[in-house]
Amino acid sequence: MSKVRDRMEDFKDAVRHSAISMGYNESKLAAIMAKFIIHAPRQRSPFTRAALKTLESIGALEQFMLKHRKDYVDLHRTTEQERDSIEHEVGAFIKACQEQIDVLKNSINDDEANSKGWLGIRTDYSNADTIAHKHGVVLILSERLHSVTSRFDQLRAIRFQDSINKATPRRKPKRIKTSASTDTSNSNNLELREPNEFQPEPLTVQQQLLDDETRALQVELTSLLDAVQETETKMVEMSALNHLMSTHVLQQAHQIEQLYDQAVEATKNVELGNKEISKAIQRNSSSRTFLFLFLFVLTFSILFLDWYS
Tens digit of pLDDT for each residue in 285-306?
A: 888 888 888 888 888 888 888 8
Predicted structure pTM score: 0.47
Residue 185 has pLDDT above 70, yes or no: no
pLDDT band for position 147 (cuts 50, 70, 90): confident
Residue 106 has pLDDT above 60, yes or no: yes
Q: Measuring CA to CA, how many Å separate 1 from each of 4, 5, 254?
A: 9, 13, 50
Give residue 194's pLDDT: 43
Task: State how far the Cα of 145 lies from the Cα of 120, in Å rounded to an integer.
Answer: 33
The span from the first CA to the last CA of the chain, in angstroms, equals 72
Mean pLDDT along residues 157-183: 57
CB distance 134 to 47 below 8 Å = yes
Domains assigned to the chain: 14-43 (no CATH), 46-170+204-272 (1.20.58)
Residue 198 has pLDDT above 70, yes or no: no
Give residue 193's pLDDT: 44
CB distance 154 to 72 below 8 Å = no
Residue 202 has pLDDT above 60, yes or no: no
Mean pLDDT along residues 123-144: 80
pLDDT band for position 124 (cuts 50, 70, 90): low
**For residue range 60-81, what is the model confidence (pLDDT) as tens digits?**
988 988 888 888 877 777 787 8
pLDDT band for position 176 (cuts 50, 70, 90): very low
CA atoms within a 13 Å half-sphere pointing along the CA-CB vector of 247: 10
> For the chain, what is the mean pLDDT?
77
pLDDT band for position 56 (cuts 50, 70, 90): very high
Give residue 233's pLDDT: 77
Mean pLDDT along residues 242-262: 77
Q: Measuring CA to CA, how many Å separate 182 from each of 116, 178, 203?
A: 87, 6, 15
Quote the percentage of the chain above a pLDDT of 90.
Answer: 3
Mean pLDDT along residues 106-127: 66
pLDDT band for position 191 (cuts 50, 70, 90): very low
Given 3-state DSSP classes, what are the helix, strand and coil percentages for the chain, each rounded to the nearest 5? Answer: 80, 0, 20
Residue 119 φ/ψ region, left for φ over 0, alpha for ψ in the -120 to 50 degree band, beta for the rest? left
Out of 15-24, 33-42, 112-121, 167-176, which region has the weakest mean confidence (pLDDT)? 167-176
Quote the percentage of the chain above a pLDDT of 70.
Answer: 79
Mean pLDDT along residues 15-26: 84
Residue 162 has pLDDT above 60, yes or no: yes
